[in-house]
Structure 1
């Protein structure tokens, strides 16, 4: 079931192989992608239920740390012991963690359960994509990208709606109870459908435990530093600086360890490949702009446009969904032309221009017009998604397929966290500069929702909305800058054709 075998088959056989594998890996990917949106809808209810609003971000941060640490572990173990076996391990941990989340009586135990769930979720996407790569040769992967993109589009659109409905009618614990059955079904399909997956090459393999420890000591402080830094308070900034120093020291020691390890967790020869690190860097920049925009737009729609949570979710749908169509288009173009980075170079440049237009005209556009404009931005983002994955996989070959695929997920996670922190810092900084308590209102709005503005007079609300509009203009321009750099990087990736 390797790409070499698939390459010798005719299109009908290739489709048959793909659709034998896809139900299992597609459901696993759906579960992982769904978690990113469905849990966000339940956060306010979780905060009210457990009574710790100021620490609710840990539900997201702990999961993100765990998935980021786990991604290269699954990639390396999948190469050594087989990706089907490791996918079953990941599904088991993901389902167990979700069940523990549903039963958690306190925020501390919920965060611990989210860590368990994250250690499972970290392998679902990277292992699934790598399993598809075993079946489909590089140039033909674009032909089936529409199905992969459709999974993420469905999860992005279904997540906020399902999360809001389940939370409102059944309580926030129902959001987590939905996930174990999905994991169980995906595991059953994996056993039935993935029997021909490569078993891996484990002879003489020695897992890099020191590398894993140092990697965790880098990722956790780095992500926590970003979480503290976006608060822009003296105490939080001091903590962020200390955590950043610890992350930097761990990164230096990790680099030394990986150079000496026989079977390194992070193979430097792979990550140092110019096509790999440049593709991953541009992917991180796009993820930062994409996730940061999605994270803060609900606040804009609520505070400035006065939308309800349900209406905000509808307004966000074009941004969340249309990236899939950009991925579908470039996937087909890849299979016809063999060209990789030329398509995202146009798509990302287009997105940067549209984000700049959103910054300039945010105050004049209606909600529908702004949602449509953001849909165009998302379409441009989507042109880069399949090209990064295919480029990285083609650059390293089959022996390091899992590690290379996991590197994309890892850099996207770090990019998403960094971009969200940067956009949050820009928003908060502009509100602090305006004075008049705008920054404090912004924090209250994040924590309590639109009710935080109820006590303000009409004049004060109008002034706050004007300040928020200016701050979001700056945030849109920040996102445009990130995407513009990503567009430039597409021209610097050596592997331009496969």
Structure 2
């Protein structure tokens, strides 16, 4: 729970502080890379850590992941440019890949099938605590100290988690000869990273029909195709495709991919809207996002009880309805609605996430044996992280492209550009803008974010439709 708290509080604190970070370091066009770099390494390593935990046990792998995460956190706080911060986030994401899946897998190991649903719900309460503390601490640190401390606060938490694991987690492991799928990891990294560059830079710095985009598209296709072929031949694949033959796992993983896009779309861009367009303080923007992480654990606890009564398919369908309802609120969000309405939409999406993720984890862990539980759990979390990775790049690209289109339609592209939006995120810089420039930038940001939320809404519909295909049998 300590390790999960560290990872959970990271999500809400960074999103709250991002406007302040961009305001100081500049480079609004690189905004989505702060999330994409972290998520890319998280996505690529999560399956490797899951496999390593099946080979060597959960304890040593989780502890190594925490140490790498802390090194990355230290470097993030020392960054003096957006490029340095992005590089440090790569390191942080490399460690983060171990934390969430292995912590969830440990619960699957310790508790029986009957206890698991309830305990997974309790474990999700960590998100509630971090949701309340994260934006509050983040907002206060940004306003009164420095955004750098939002990364450094991880260090004491990580040290406490390592001490706790050392003292209290005891496991008897039959060690096997390790066969780590480094080739699969390299091919996956190449395919995802090239796809991310296409989604972020296409139509912004490079034309869609440029040689760079076409070349990267070819790299993406061939590396992903090679990854699938390679994984089918290797003896210990990082992505065991035989797991996907189980229908409940297939649907859970595909739905997690689509909800991952939704999750990053709201958590990344909501604070920007509340601060830049609604002109609210960082702490208010943080609390607008907080409600998602409050709704998540509440729904997870309820979900844990519902699973035993109505089954995971019906529970997941309730979550799917909440995802569609919440994304509809964001679709209709305007500057006049205020942060309370934005917070309500965030809360409803959190309800949907809590219902679906708990159902998926419990059903997957009930389907497989201990020997593959680590990689099975990690596969589901990989799909959600992959969704967030692709979503951060895709939605960042949509935001940048639509913002450029709006500025061009107003004929001010020579005076204002994407990075001019940075001035909206700092109160002192915003007051230095002319009224006309401020209105154009705020209207442009609203226009661009509305396009982002249309994409989020589309993925909510896809998630709901996928859930219908879950098998009706219960575990």
TM-score by length of 2: 0.88
Segment drifting more, 319-328 vs 361-370:
361-370
Segment drifting more, 138-147 vs 49-58:
49-58
Q: Secondary structure at the match of 1:408?
A: helix
> Which residue is 1:245 aligned to?
218
> Which residue is 1:136 aligned to?
111
CA contact (8 A) 1:299 1:446 kept: no
2:312 equivalent to 1:332: no
Cα deviation, residue 52, structure 1: 6.0
C-alpha change, 1:319 and 1:444, in structure 2 (3 Å) is: farther
> Which residue is 1:304 aligned to?
277
CA distance in 1, matches of 2:191, 2:214: 14
CA contact (8 A) 1:94 1:120 kept: yes
2:367 aligned residue (395, 398, 419): 395
2:150 equivalent to 1:175: yes
CA contact (8 A) 1:432 1:438 kept: no
> Which residue is 1:492 aligned to?
469
CA distance in 2, matches of 1:474, 1:211: 35
Q: Secondary structure at the match of 1:384?
A: helix
C-alpha change, 1:179 and 1:134, in structure 2 (3 Å) is: same
2:449 equivalent to 1:449: no
TM-superposition CA deviations, 1:12-69 (whole Å, max 9, x none): xxxxxxxxxxxxxx01111112222323444455556666665565443332222111
CA distance in 1, matches of 2:343, 2:88: 35
Which blocks of at least 5 consecutive residues in structure 1 are unaligned?
A: 1-25
2:44 equivalent to 1:72: no
Equivalence map 1:411-450=2 (5 Å): 411-434=383-406, 435-436=409-410, 443-446=419-422, 449-450=425-426
CA distance in 2, matches of 1:105, 1:354: 37
Segment drifting more, 473-482 vs 251-260:
473-482
C-alpha change, 1:426 and 1:89, in structure 2 (3 Å) is: closer
TM-superposition CA deviations, 1:428-482 (whole Å, max 9, x none): 5554554115885554225762566545554664565555545544433332221
CA contact (8 A) 1:54 1:447 kept: no
CA contact (8 A) 1:98 1:179 kept: yes
2:466 equivalent to 1:476: no
CA distance in 2, matches of 1:312, 1:186: 29
TM-superposition CA deviations, 1:372-403 (whole Å, max 9, x none): 24322322232111012122223333221111
Segment drifting more, 443-452 vs 265-274:
443-452
> Which residue is 1:116 aligned to?
91
**Alignment length (residue pairs):** 469
CA contact (8 A) 1:355 1:377 kept: yes
2:292 aligned residue (307, 319, 323): 319
Cα deviation, residue 282, structure 1: 0.7
Q: Secondary structure at the match of 1:266?
A: coil
Cα deviation, residue 310, structure 1: 2.4
> Which residue is 1:14 aligned to?
none
Equivalence map 1:120-199=2 (5 Å): 120-195=95-170, 197-199=171-173
CA contact (8 A) 1:438 1:464 kept: no
Which blocks of at least 5 consecutive residues in structure 2 are unaligned?
A: none
Higher RCO structure, 1 or 2 (CA under 8 Å, sep 6+):
2
> Which residue is 2:6 aligned to?
31
TM-superposition CA deviations, 1:47-96 (whole Å, max 9, x none): 56666665565443332222111101110010111111211211222223
CA distance in 2, matches of 1:108, 1:465: 26
